[in-house]
Amino acid sequence: KYKQIRDDYNRLLYRRAGQLQTSKAASSAAKAVVDDMQDRLRKEIAEREAEAALYSARLYESERQMSDWYVERRMLEDHIAKLNEEV
């Protein structure tokens, strides 16, 4: 849901910026500001996607470590149980 809202918002921003750029009444300074804003928006989107990828990688690594730890703990518990049965 969040991704859909974000995509809709970005689409509307680009549409409004495009309308200003194609408008005859807009000054060159306004068009330059819009171009700058669009560049910043693209950079921000790329930065957020990079952050999301980094957080996903960190989360995956953390979950993998927890899974490895759980499996190791379980194997040790089984080994201790077998040793207790032998004693």
C-alpha to C-alpha distance for 63 and 47, rounded to whole angstroms: 24
Average pLDDT over all residues of the chain: 87
38, pLDDT greater than 80: yes
pTM, full prediction: 0.54
pLDDT at residue 36 tops 80:
yes
Q: What digits encode the pLDDT tens for the residues 61-78? A: 999 999 999 999 999 999
Degrees to nearest 5, angle at CA 61 with 56 and 79: 150
Strands in the chain per DSSP E = none
Phi, psi of 43 (to 5 degrees): -65, -40
Handedness of CA 69, 74, 79, 81 (dihedral sign): positive
pLDDT at 11: 84
How far is Cα 84 from Cα 78, in angstroms, rounded to an integer? Answer: 10
